[in-house]
DNA sequence: CCTAGTGTATTAGCTTACTAGTACACTATA
DNA sequence: TATAGTGTACTAGTAAGCTAATACACTAGG
């Protein structure tokens, strides 16, 4: 897994797992890979992974069962709330940044449409 | 100035100055505040500010004149390119994040419109 | 020439994040 | 009961970022 060296790894792992859960690649109640396996998967240290997991446990997104593993919460509302939170956070950041660059609401929408239209063209 | 403790301060200072330049709060050719003054302004250490400036000098966004100060480039094209780059970077990040959360193009646009509409309502 | 205001360089110490290694507690199963 | 697989805790060491303090080089102006 590739990391942005401007952001703590444990934070990026957390975000990675958030996505797995929100998108259903990890279902409610499903067991996560073992910490040691996760560490291999994302190419990070066990302690770093554990730090990410501990925060998610505190947030009650996952539930640990000693000796068994970590499990995604079965509270689907909680997962829905998580998704909404992530979406809103991203929109807030992007809007503020673009607005600070003096783009009007319409210009932001326009640039986004343009971006979507041209997306992929540069990947060739 | 408030910093996000997940991102290096020098990086956030750089971004702050980018915005000053792109939005014209700092005109082409204009002298930046002295390093020591900037450090006070953004509540950071001189060395941290200097690190941000050094990177911007390497990018030729600002030009240093020993004993005089640092000056915004007079190359307006360069500034325009900077703005385009910042806009594009932000769009890329936001789009990818939202897309990863399984929002379609239309849903992203819809959520953004909704966000713009409700913006400010929660600030009361 | 002197002084104040600039950028620039260097050193030292602190904190956080990360890694590595080890150890322990619990669970399931052969 | 023994063993393998799990989460969890702890210590130690390294690297990066930030701060603080000092020093030096250059410029402008009295």
Compare CB distances from A101 to B22, B100, B112 and report the shortest one's residue.
B22
| CA atoms of A66 and A82, how far apart (whole Å) | 25
pLDDT given at position B111:
96
| CA atoms of A86 and A15, how far apart (whole Å) | 9
pLDDT tens for A6-63 read: 999 999 999 999 999 999 999 999 999 999 999 999 999 999 999 999 999 999 999 9
Nearest of A44, A7, A12, A50 to residue A32 by alpha carbon: A50
Most A CBs within 10 A among B100, B103, B108, B121, hence the mutation to make, goes to B100
CATH 1.10.10.10 residue window(s) in chain A: 9-74
pLDDT tens for A56-108 read: 999 999 999 989 999 999 999 999 999 999 999 999 999 999 999 999 999 99
> In a 3-state reduction of DSSP, which class is residue B43?
coil
The answer to whether residues A38 and A49 touch, using CB atoms and an 8 Å cutoff, is yes
Distance A11 CA to D15 C1' (A): 18
| CA atoms of A118 and A116, how far apart (whole Å) | 6
| CA atoms of A104 and A101, how far apart (whole Å) | 9
CATH class entry, domain B9-74: mainly alpha
Examine the pLDDT at A123 and tell me if it is beyond 80: no
Question: At a CB cut-off of 8 Å and minimum separation 6, what does B60 contact?
Answer: B73, B75, B78
pLDDT tens for B81-111 read: 999 999 999 999 999 999 999 999 999 999 9
Examine the pLDDT at B124 and tell me if it is beyond 60: no
The answer to whether residues B13 and B55 touch, using CB atoms and an 8 Å cutoff, is no
> In a 3-state reduction of DSSP, which class is residue A79?
helix
Which nucleotides of strand C are protein-proximal, with an atom < 7 A from a CB? 5-11, 17-22, 25-28
Q: Residue B119 — very low, low, confident or very high, per pLDDT cuts 50/70/90?
A: confident
Nucleotide nearest to A70 (CA to C1'): D7
CA distances, B113 to each of A16, A95, B82, B100 (Å): 27, 11, 26, 19
Examine the pLDDT at B120 and tell me if it is beyond 70: no
| CA atoms of A34 and A47, how far apart (whole Å) | 13
Q: Residue A120 — very low, low, confident or very high, per pLDDT cuts 50/70/90?
A: low
Residues touching nucleic chain D (CB < 7 Å): A 5, 32, 34-37, 46-47, 50, 53-54, 57, 64-70; B 8-11, 43-48, 51, 65-68
Examine the pLDDT at A124 and tell me if it is beyond 60: no
């Amino acid at each position: 897994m590739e990391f942005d060296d401007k952001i703590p790894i444990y934070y990026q792992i957390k975000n990675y797992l958030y996505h797995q859960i929100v998108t259903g690649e990890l279902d409610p109640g499903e067991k996560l890979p073992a910490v040691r396996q996760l560490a291999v998967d994302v190419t990070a240290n066990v302690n770093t992974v554990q730090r990410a997991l501990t925060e998610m446990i505190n947030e009650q997104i996952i539930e640990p069962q000693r000796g068994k593993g970590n499990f995604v919460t079965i509270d689907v509302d909680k997962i829905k709330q998580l998704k909404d939170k992530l979406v809103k956070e991203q929109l807030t950041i992007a809007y503020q940044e673009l607005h600070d660059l003096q783009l009007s609401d319409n210009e932001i929408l326009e640039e986004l449409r343009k971006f979507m239209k041209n997306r992929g063209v540069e990947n060739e």
